[in-house]
Amino acid sequence: MRTFTYTQRVYFSDTDAQGIVYHAAYLDFAEHARTELARELGTSGLDGDRALVVRSINISYEKPAVLDDLLTVYTTVRDLGRVSMTFEQIIRRGEETVATLLVKVASIDIRTKRPLRIDEELVKALQ
Amino acid sequence: MRTFTYTQRVYFSDTDAQGIVYHAAYLDFAEHARTELARELGTSGLDGDRALVVRSINISYEKPAVLDDLLTVYTTVRDLGRVSMTFEQIIRRGEETVATLLVKVASIDIRTKRPLRIDEELVKALQ
Amino acid sequence: MRTFTYTQRVYFSDTDAQGIVYHAAYLDFAEHARTELARELGTSGLDGDRALVVRSINISYEKPAVLDDLLTVYTTVRDLGRVSMTFEQIIRRGEETVATLLVKVASIDIRTKRPLRIDEELVKALQ
Amino acid sequence: MRTFTYTQRVYFSDTDAQGIVYHAAYLDFAEHARTELARELGTSGLDGDRALVVRSINISYEKPAVLDDLLTVYTTVRDLGRVSMTFEQIIRRGEETVATLLVKVASIDIRTKRPLRIDEELVKALQ
C-alpha cells in the first residue's frame, strides 16, 4: 500500500518545559496525518452508523523535535482487517526519524459500541 | 456572592518551551474551577435542553507559573443575568497573583443554539 | 499596517465533548498565526537577550467552529509601542467570523524578566 | 514494588468531539501520576545533571472515559535498570479498566543527551 505524507509545524502549544515537543503531542500529529489521509482518499470511513476509535498505540521516541521544526508524518496502512486496521506512522525531520508509531484503529457501531465492519468505500480506497 | 476555591497542580502537559505555563493552559485551569464550582453547588445548569457556552474571556497575565507550582483558582460570580453570567477568576500561587480572568458564559438551547434562560436551580444555588 | 493570513484546519485534538472547538484552542490557533507572521517577516524579535510574552488576551467567541473546518486567522498589529504591541486577530470560516482576539505581547529581558525595548529589526519589518 | 495511586478528574479540556476522553489525554494523566509518584517519594531523580525522558509508550484503550469521570491511575515500576525504567500504569474508573500503559523512561545527561545512570536516591526510594 502507498504511503501518505503530512507536514506538521511545531508551535509553542506543542512543546513543554523540557524545551522539546511534549511526548503526547506526537499522538496529535499522527492523528492529524490519519485525518488528512482520509481526506485525500475522499472518505473517512465514518457515516451515520460507524465511528473509528483508537484501540492501541505503540510509540517509540527516537530524537526530540523542537520549536519551529517542520516535521513530516509518513503513514502506511500495515494491516487491514474486517473490523480494524493498523497504521504505521513515522515522524521525520528531514532524513532523521523523530518517532515511530503503530496505531490500531477499530470500526464500531456508534450506538451499540460493538465492532462493525470497516466501511467498504474506505477499504476500496485503501487498496 | 461567595468565592469558590479550586487547587490546580502544574504538570509538564501545561508548560511550554519558554519553561513556564503555556498561556492557553490558564483557560483550562479556570474551566476546571468553574466545573468544580458547579459540582459543589450540586447542579451544573445543564440538562437535556441547555448548554453553557463561553462567550468571551479577558485574561491578564501577571506572573508566570512554572512546573510543580500549586495554584489556587478563586472564582466569584460577578454578574448573574437572565441568559448569561460573568465569572471573575483569580489564579494565585500563595499570595501572588498569577493571572486574572473575566469569563462570560451564556446559556443556550441545545437544539436551536439560541439564548435560553439560565437553569433556575443553578440561579438559586448561586444566590 | 498590513494584515497577515494563516490557515488552520480543525482536528479532533482541538475539539471537546460539546462537539465544537474547545474554547482555549483558539488561543493556540492565534499563537500559530503570530509565529507564522514572524516567520514571514524573517525575524521573530527573539534573540539571546529577549523573549516575547503574552500580557493579556481579550477573546470574543462569535460562532463555534467544528471538526474539519478550515479556518483563516487574520492578524494585524494594532499598536506598536516601545516594549509591547497589540495584535488584533480575527478567526474566520469563509466570510463568517468565528472569534476575535486582542493580544498584548511584551518584550522582556530573558534574565531579569524586566521590559526591554522590542527588537529593532522586528519593529522595522512590521512598519 | 508497591503501587502508587493518583486520582484524575476528567474535564472538558480532556475530551474530544467523539464525546469521550481524547486518546492522547491519557498520556497526560499517566504523566501526572508519575510526577506525583516522584513527589511522594521525595525525589524526582532530576538534578542539575540529569533529565528523565520518555523512550516508548505502549497504550491499550479498553473502555472510553467521559466528562466528569473520576479516574484512578495505578502506577508500578516493573523494570528498574541502570539507565532506564519501565512503569506499568493502569487507568481505572472504579473497578473498570479504561486504559493500560507501559512507559519506558530513560535517564540522560542534560548537556550531552547521552544515557546517565538513574539517580541513586530515586533508585533507593523505589526499592
pLDDT at A44 over 80: no
Read out DSSP for C36-91? HHHHHHT--S--SSEEEEEEEEEEEE-S---TT-EEEEEEEEEEE-SSEEEEEEEE
Residues of chain A found within 8 Å of residue B24, distances taken between Cβ atoms: 13
Which domains are present in chain C? 3-126 (3.10.129.10)
Q: How far is CA D121 from CA A115, C61, D41, D78, in A?
A: 48, 50, 10, 18
Look-up of cell digits 440561579? B123
pLDDT the model gives residue A42? 86
pLDDT at D98 over 80: yes
**Which phi and psi angles does B52 have, rounded to 5°?**
-105, 130
Residues C56-103: tens digit of each pLDDT: 999 999 999 999 999 999 999 999 999 999 999 999 999 999 999 999
pLDDT the model gives residue B90? 98
% chain B with pLDDT above 90: 82
Read out DSSP for chain D? --EEEEEEE--GGGB-TTSSB-TTHHHHHHHHHHHHHHHHHT--S--SSEEEEEEEEEEEE-S---TT-EEEEEEEEEEE-SSEEEEEEEEEETTEEEEEEEEEEEEEETTT--B----HHHHHHH-
pLDDT at A46 over 80: no
Catalytic residue at D69? no
Nearest to B26 by CA among C98, C50, C54, C100: C54
Compute the average pLDDT of residues D99-123: 94
Q: Is B51 in CB contact (< 8 Å) with chain C? A: yes
Probe site for chain D from C10, C11, C12 (most D CB atoms < 10 A): C12
pLDDT the model gives residue C33? 98
pLDDT at C18 over 90: yes
Q: Strand, coil or helix: what is B50?
A: strand
pLDDT at A45 over 90: no
Q: Is C25 in CB contact (< 8 Å) with chain B? A: yes
Compute the average pLDDT of residues A17-45: 94
Compute the average pLDDT of residues B74-103: 97
Region of poorest pLDDT, from B45-59, D19-33, D73-87: B45-59
Nearest to A118 by CA among C126, C66, A127: A127
Report the mean per-residue pLDDT for chain D: 94
Q: Are D59 and A56 in contact (CB under 8 A)?
A: yes
Q: How far is A54 from chain D (nearest CA, A)?
A: 7
Which residues 62-81 of C are in CB contact (within 8 Å) with B? 64
pLDDT band at D73 (very low <50, low <70, confident <90, very high): very high
% chain D with pLDDT above 70: 100
Q: How far is B63 from chain C (nearest CA, A)?
A: 9
pLDDT the model gives residue D42? 86
Compute the average pLDDT of residues D45-57: 87
Compute the average pLDDT of residues B86-111: 97
pLDDT at C44 over 80: no
| Contact check, Cβ <8 Å, D53/A59 | no
Alpha-carbon span A81 to C19, nearest angstrom: 29
Residues of chain D found within 8 Å of residue C13, distances taken between Cβ atoms: 16, 22, 24
What ipTM was assigned to the predicted interfaces of this complex? 0.95
Residues of chain C found within 8 Å of residue B15, distances taken between Cβ atoms: none
Residue among D17, D22, D24 whose CB faces C19 most closely: D17
| Contact check, Cβ <8 Å, A59/D64 | no
pLDDT the model gives residue C87? 98
**Which phi and psi angles does D13 have, rounded to 5°?**
-60, -15
pLDDT at A6 over 80: yes
Q: Is D25 in CB contact (< 8 Å) with chain C? A: no
